[in-house]
Structure 1
């Protein structure tokens, strides 16, 4: 048995038949082990069977405690790999004055970005999409929905819509949407964003590995070509515990032009 497993089991042996329900005792013991540094970010938990045997409790009890800790963001589960202590979240500072893709933005920070595709396909445009993109009722749109992940931490859910006449095959987008649009001369040069605070529902909280009801930032982005034509309509959800959006403000000069703030 490795040192990590020994530390975890040592933290679980206090689970007994007295006091609170067993799953709550186990949950508290794992939380305390994380807080005290006995098990750290990225450490793998032993299997449900091994934990149950060491703590002398049922696997159902272990599963309930682990699921609660996953919902609260203490643990993360990776399909086919197991359960791990969640990484410590370092906040990402995002400038509101630069129009960049998620992939480009994470690359500048030295973070490994990837996406988990939730949906890619051609659809009939919704009334909102027709209005924003300036489409007729007969025109189709490409929708791209994905979970954006940096250094294996889910940070955002992004749902982008592009006219199908511009992006006839959404599967052509493998990483950066803006890179794909740039290849056909349709990369946006400016955008207007509306940011609002909302609380996460169950499905989105599960995708972002945070508790249900967690505060997050909802961003609607309308992006434009140099000609002024709208090219992209995106609705995104960003983790409130991970992102800070920063805007630079300047004091107008006496003639109404922008000047340096002092």
Structure 2
């Protein structure tokens, strides 16, 4: 049986979707965003066609086409007699122990320093509730920092954490994960996805790079021991930076 938070997220996402195109694509795109953001994690069971019809107010034919679209994209798979499930991401690397970039750089003998641009608690937006898969979330920790390595800009990082994971932002110094470790809320599992994008002028200026230059973007999601998302981070790296990205945790 699908959990109530997932049902609420699915209903709200479909309700707020842009309906300028075919209805089945509107529903399919909304569900795709939930899966790709991690709000519907790998292995999660989707509601049945009938449940989705009731939730969305769309026809059963529309829902069936939307699910077929997800299957085409490789986002879901069918289990005979059981239902539709979120598929694991393709080409996932084997899990490694959870660690932080600060720790990795320290082991390499490199100097890392953080310049904080934002570090405060704010009211949760609809987007926050979506990426953290928590429909009733009221407040979140919003962080933005410029990371310097050997005094050169390496990445601009924007993070959203639950207040349970980081109840006191004054605890955060150079390493966010050191604060999580001190609070005993270090994620037990972390996933990272790599994409490429062209930097917008503001990001390029911060990283001292050319506007619209191609850059590496890493989206990081941290989960607690119950499988709930407690962290969502997007980091854009300087074009000269190079990182190996994998899935961490047991």
Pairwise TM-score range, normalised by the shorter structure = 0.5 to 0.7
1:142·1:169 contact (CA, 8 Å) conserved in 2? no
Q: Does the alignment pair 1:141 with 2:140? A: yes
Aligned to 1:233: 232
SS of 1:157's partner is strand
* Segments ≥4 residues shifted beyond 4 Å: 95-98
SS of 1:100's partner is coil
1:122·1:143 contact (CA, 8 Å) conserved in 2? yes
Q: How does 1:83-122 map to 2 (within 5 A)?
A: 97=96, 99-122=98-121
Provide the aligned C-alpha RMSD in A.
Answer: 2.2
Matched residues in 2 for 1:153 and 1:236: separation? Answer: 16
2:129·2:137 contact (CA, 8 Å) conserved in 1? no
TM-score (norm 2): 0.57
Aligned to 1:206: 205
Matched residues in 1 for 2:137 and 2:246: separation? Answer: 39
Q: Does the alignment pair 1:224 with 2:215? A: no
Q: CA deviation at 1:102?
A: 2.2
Q: CA deviation at 1:229?
A: 2.1
1:189·1:225 contact (CA, 8 Å) conserved in 2? yes
Aligned to 2:156: 157
Per-residue Cα deviation, 1:217-239 (whole angstroms, up to 9, x for no partner): 11111111233222211111112
2:209·2:239 contact (CA, 8 Å) conserved in 1? no
Aligned to 2:15: none
Which entry has the higher C-alpha Rg, 1 or 2? 1
Cα distance, 1:151–1:170 mapped onto 2, change above 3 Å: same
Matched residues in 1 for 2:229 and 2:190: separation? Answer: 9
Count of residues paired in the alignment: 154
Q: Does the alignment pair 1:188 with 2:176? A: no
Q: CA deviation at 1:131?
A: 2.1
Cα distance, 1:183–1:246 mapped onto 2, change above 3 Å: closer
Q: CA deviation at 1:98?
A: 5.0
Matched residues in 1 for 2:216 and 2:124: separation? Answer: 25
* Unaligned stretches of 5+ residues in structure 1: 1-94, 249-262
Aligned to 2:171: 172
2:193·2:245 contact (CA, 8 Å) conserved in 1? no
